Structures are given as structure tokens and as C-alpha cells.
Structure 1
Amino acid sequence: MLDQQVRLIVDRGVRAAPRLTPAGERILAAASTLFYEQGIRTVGVDAIAAAADVTKKTLYDRFGSKDRLIAAYLEQRDRTWHLFLDEQLAERKPATPEEVILTLFVALTDWLAGSRNGCGFINASVELAAPDHPAMPVIVGQKRWLRSEFEAQARAAGLEDPGELADRLLLLHEGALVSYRVAAMTNAPEVATRAATALLANWPRLSK
């Protein structure tokens, strides 16, 4: 159980995992692998159904449409990400809000280990141009949550202008993800962590 001081502060609003039939679980698992490794738009329902060993009718019966399956894939990825962060916090045991913030950066190194494709949410946002796509609230919500968490931790630490600090931290965090994927900058998480450490060390505190 995490100490009250070092917990994540902002309600994550992550949707509970849906109850799926075994076929539905296979479909979602197959789609998650194919979407992340090959891209959302390049993977068709035929390929997903074949990988899951189901018919296309079963896929549509379980998820309604490819768009809803995309949303389900990102919702599952969001749940996995938050569980991973909980594990990182439990393992690293940050003692201050600033250390919680840095743990969110350090976690990127392990999260991205063995993958060349970076952030599934950023990748999806590039492929899904329509703002009314069912997956867009999941993508936007995931990034807004992270910014809100940075701001809440900065406020808990007694740092000045926590909103401005949160904006800068988010740019560092997301910039690391993009640089890792697009520029093949494999040390991007480490560079971002050092930049965040320096930023926090020099950020003014509220006078007591």
C-alpha cells in the first residue's frame, strides 16, 4: 500500500475492464498486438479475426465496429499503463511529490524497453484524424490526466505556478516519447528525466 504522501493524486478515471467472452478476449489481444506493432489504419478486421481465430461476424458481434475495437484497445492500454505506474511507485518508494513526478519520467525507460514504436496513444492520435472518433476521448483523457497529475504533485510540493510547471513537464514527457519513436533517440527517457530533475531543482517555491 503506497504511503498517503506519495500516492498519485488525480482521479485517473480509467474505465473498468469489460467482461469479455473468451473469443472477445482473443480479439482484443490480437487487435492490441497488431494495432501497436503495425498501425491502426493498416490492420484490417480480416487480419484481426484471423489472428484471433474467429470470424468477422464474431468480431462485430463482440465490439460492434473496428472503431469501437480501437477504443477498447486504447482503454486496455490505459489500464495497463496505470497499473505499471502503481508498480513503479511501489518499487521506487518516492518520498516527496517531486520524487513522484520524477518516477513518472523514470518509468518511461522500463515501459519502452524492447519496443520501437513509442507511445500507442500518440501513434493513434496521428492515425485518427476525426475528433469524434470513439477513441479520441481515451487519448485526450490519458494526456490530460498526466498533466493534471504533474500539476497536483507540484502544488503538493509547494512550488510556484504549478500549472506552468505542469505544462513544461508534460512537454518534456511527451517530447521524450515522440523523440524515441520518430528520431530513434533510444535514450530520450533518460534525457527527459535529467531535464525534469533540473527543472524541479530550480523551480521557485512558495514563500512560507
Structure 2
Amino acid sequence: MTRRPAPGTRRRILKTAARLFGEQGARAVGMQEVVAETGLGKSALYREFTGKDDLVAAWVRELDAETWSRMDHELAPYEDDPARRLLMVVELAQDGVRAPGFHGCTFYNTSAEFRDPAHPGRQEAVAHLDRLRRRLRALAEAAHATDADALADMLMLIISGLYANAATLGPTGPAARATAAARTLIDQHIPHRRRGSPDL
């Protein structure tokens, strides 16, 4: 008879993996280290995840869901102001890099660590970034930007630059100017917003 895992086993493994992957990078952490840190047997780990690739993908997928949930919650009060929502996406990213122990964006880090396009962790990371780009484009269109594609892509570049700079030079380096740069771009592409809402 197959032994059923104890309640909360999967959550325990994912929580431990998230800490280890965040601190050391997903590629550097072996499954044995996850086993040792969780205090679970190897069989318990492999009942929940088929292997390292599966665990990495689940970790990225969970963070993806958490990220969108938080973003949707923060943007909800500004449903009728897509230009403000555009800026808030960058503000949320800037808040994230100020968190203690920030080691870079999980999605960009994972896509860089696992370069095989078929790797499930990379696929989850790229899917998240693609969704972010599409979200920015949809907000830019809703705000009647003069060039929604260009605005969305330039904001993506600001966000990626924000993460890279904060991970290497700290959140008080060039990364500290991310929101101001985004505001300038939004003003340029949504001129009626600049005139009507100076609080952007």
C-alpha cells in the first residue's frame, strides 16, 4: 500500500526550496540539500515532485501566482486609471528590490540559469514575463497611449534594468530612479494624462 504524505508536506518542501533557491540560485541547490533542510526522507520529496526540474517549475509557478495576486490587489483601487496602474507596476517592482535579502528577480534569474528552452522552470519564468509584457501593453492601450507597444516594451526594459541594478549595485543606486524614469515615459506617451492628473 502506498504511503500517503503528511498534510502540508508539499508546502513544507516548496517553502524550503524557495529559501534555498532564493539564497543560492536554483541551479546550485541539489535535491539532497532540500531533503536535509526539510528533514523529510527522499521518498517523501519524490512523492511530491518527480525531480529537480519539477520542483523548480513548481516554485516559479507558485511565485507567479503570488505576484499576480498581489499586483491585482494593489491595482484594484485604480481600475478607472490605467495610466496610474502602469506606474504602479514599476512602483511595486521597486518596492520588491528594497526587501531584505533581495538577490534579483526570480523570473529573470531562472531564465538565465536554465537556458534550455524546454526546461520547465525556464518556461514558467518566460511565461510570467510574457504575461507582464502583455499586461503593460493592455494598460497602455486602455490609457490611450500614442504607441502602446513602445510604451509597454520600454517599461519592461525599466523593470528588467531595475532588477539587474538592484541586485548588483543595491536599491539606492541607479535602481532608485526607476519610478521617475517610468513616469517620464508615461507622460511622453500619454500627454493628456500629464495635463489632467499631476499626481501621477
Shorter-chain TM-score: what band?
Answer: 0.7 to 0.9
Amino acid at match of 2:129: K
Question: Post-superposition shift, 1:111?
Answer: 2.1
Give the whole-Å Cα distance in 1 for the aligned partners of 2:164 and 2:7. Answer: 35
Taking the aligned partners of 2:115 and 2:9, their CA distance within structure 1 comes to: 30
- Greater shift, 92-101 or 160-169, is seen at 92-101
RMSD value, Cα: 2.0
Q: CA 1:114/1:50 → structure 2, altered by over 3 Å: closer, same or farther?
A: same
Cα distance in 2 between the residues matched to 1:62 and 1:155? 42
Partner amino acid, structure 1, of 2:130: R
Distance in 2 (CA, whole Å) between partners of 1:49 and 1:153 is 43
TM-score (norm 2): 0.85
Give the whole-Å Cα distance in 2 for the aligned partners of 1:189 and 1:99: 20
Distance in 1 separating the partners of 2:128 and 2:62: 12
Work out which of the residue numbers 77, 83, 96 in structure 2 matches 1:98.
Answer: 83
The answer as to 2:8 corresponding to 1:22 is yes
The separation in 2 between residues aligned to 1:176 and 1:97, in whole angstroms, is 22
Runs of 4+ aligned residues of structure 1 deviating over 6 Å after TM superposition are none
Mapped to 1, the partners of 2:160 and 2:64 lie a distance apart of 15
Kept in 2, the 8 Å contact 1:151–1:166? The answer is: yes
Structure with more relative contact order (C-alpha pairs < 8 Å, separation 6 or more): 1
Which of 167, 180, 191 is the matching residue for 2:153? 167
After TM superposition, the structure 1 stretch with the greater mean CA deviation from structure 2, 99-108 or 80-89, is 80-89
SS in 2 for 1:135: helix
Supply the distance in 1 between the matched residues of 2:188 and 2:109 (Cα, whole angstroms).
33
- Secondary structure of the structure 2 residue equivalent to 1:116: coil
Indicate yes or no: 2:38 matched with 1:52. yes
CA contact 1:67–1:135 (8 Å) conserved in 2: yes
The number of equivalent residue pairs is 186
Identity %: 32
CA-CA distance at 1:108 after TM superposition: 1.8
Instruction: Tell me the secondary structure at the aligned position of residue 160 of structure 1.
Output: coil
| Higher helix content, 1 or 2 | 2
User: Residues 96 and 46 of structure 1: is their aligned pair in 2 closer, same or farther, counting only changes over 3 Å?
Assistant: same
1:104 Cα shift?
Answer: 0.5
Give the corresponding residue for 2:180: 194
* Rounded Cα–Cα distance in structure 1 between residues aligned with 2:157 and 2:145: 18
Counterpart contact for 1:108–1:189, Cα < 8 Å: no
| Residue 61 in structure 1 maps to residue 42 in structure 2 | no
Alignment deviations for residues 34-83 of structure 1 (CA, whole Å, 9 cap, x no partner): 01111112111111011111111211121001100000000111111112
Contact 1:23/1:52, CA 8 A, preserved across alignment: no
Code of the residue aligned with 1:96 in structure 2: it is D
Between structure 1 and structure 2, the one with the greater Rg is 2
Distance 1:178 1:132 in 2: 24
What's the counterpart of residue 128 of structure 1? Answer: 114
In structure 2, distance between residues paired with 1:157 and 1:204:
7
Stretches of structure 2 that go unaligned for 5 or more consecutive residues are 1-5, 193-200
Whether the 8 Å contact between 1:85 and 1:104 is mirrored in structure 2 is yes
Please give the alpha-carbon distance, in whole angstroms, between the structure 1 residues aligned to 2:175 and 2:47.
40
Spell out the pairing of 1:22-41 with structure 2 (5 A cutoff).
22-41=8-27
Residue of structure 2 aligned with 1:183, choices 166, 169, 189: 169
| Mapped contact 1:177–1:188 kept (Cα < 8 A) | no
Give the letter for the 2:90 counterpart: F
